[in-house]
Amino acid sequence: MPVLLFVVAIVVFATDQLVKNWVVDTLPEGQTVPVLGDFLQWHFVRNPGAAFSLASGSTWIFTILATVVVCVILWQIRRLGSLLWAAFFGLLLGGVLGNLTDRLTRPPGFPVGHVIDFISTPWMIPAIYNIADIAICTGMALFVLVTLFGLPLDGSPRRKRGEEEPESSDAPAADADPEPETR
């Protein structure tokens, strides 16, 4: 399962960073470039905050939170046994690393760099976002689904309500004869 997690994370991260570099090198900052009319537009902005540019004066807090999220994901890898959970963690890791890389390497500088946002879909949401954001949101939607369906992180079969846990092989069976007492 860790292989899937890392493949998804690498694909998301690499795509995010390559496209952001293209945006910085190619698109005019602050101007809207129609791609599919009003359905899809490029609009290059440097985002110092979170979604919708909230808390723009607290960039360093997002840097710390993103670092904690990366550490938690890396800690959980050892427990993974489910493809869906691996996909979730891969999407989340790739997206968080994409935006964290911006915060660490882009102007105005470490650790308060601005995240490159460029995708605008004004018909859907009044926000400008990037590939990392899409991966994070998709991952969170997957998280909701696997949680609602009760899929364990380790991929073990789900137990039905009222079903008891399997007995340990170390414990004597309930119907076994007790050992005779010796005095």
Q: Is 133 a catalytic residue?
A: yes
Query: Does residue 134 lie within any of the structural domains?
Result: yes
Query: Does residue 122 lie within any of the structural domains?
Result: yes
The domain tally of the chain equals: 1
Query: Does residue 155 lie within any of the structural domains?
Result: no
* Catalytic residue (one of 16, 38, 102, 117): 117
Query: Does residue 16 lie within any of the structural domains?
Result: yes
Tell me what pLDDT residue 59 has.
86
d(CA 172, CA 85): 35
Tell me what pLDDT residue 102 has.
97
Domain with 10 in it: 2-148
Tokens standing for residue 31: 């101007």
Tell me what pLDDT residue 13 has.
99
Query: Does residue 180 lie within any of the structural domains?
Result: no
- Average pLDDT for consecutive 10-residue bins of the chain (183 residues)? 95 99 98 95 93 77 94 94 96 98 95 95 92 97 97 82 59 56 60
* Catalytic residue (one of 16, 25, 102, 133): 133
Query: Does residue 174 lie within any of the structural domains?
Result: no
Alpha carbon 86 to chain centroid, angstroms: 10
Tell me what pLDDT residue 178 has.
58
State the distance between the two ends of the chain, measured CA to CA, in whole angstroms.
54
Compute and round to an integer the Cα radius of gyration of the chain: 23
Q: Is 177 a catalytic residue?
A: no
Of 18, 36, 53, the C-alpha closest to 121 is 36
Q: Are 62 and 45 in contact (CB under 8 A)?
A: no
- List b or e across 102-139, with b for residues whose CB sees 16 or more CB atoms inside 10 angstroms: bbbebeeeeebbbbbbbbbeeeeeeebbbbbbbbbebb
Query: Does residue 21 lie within any of the structural domains?
Result: yes
Query: Does residue 175 lie within any of the structural domains?
Result: no
Tell me what pLDDT residue 44 has.
98
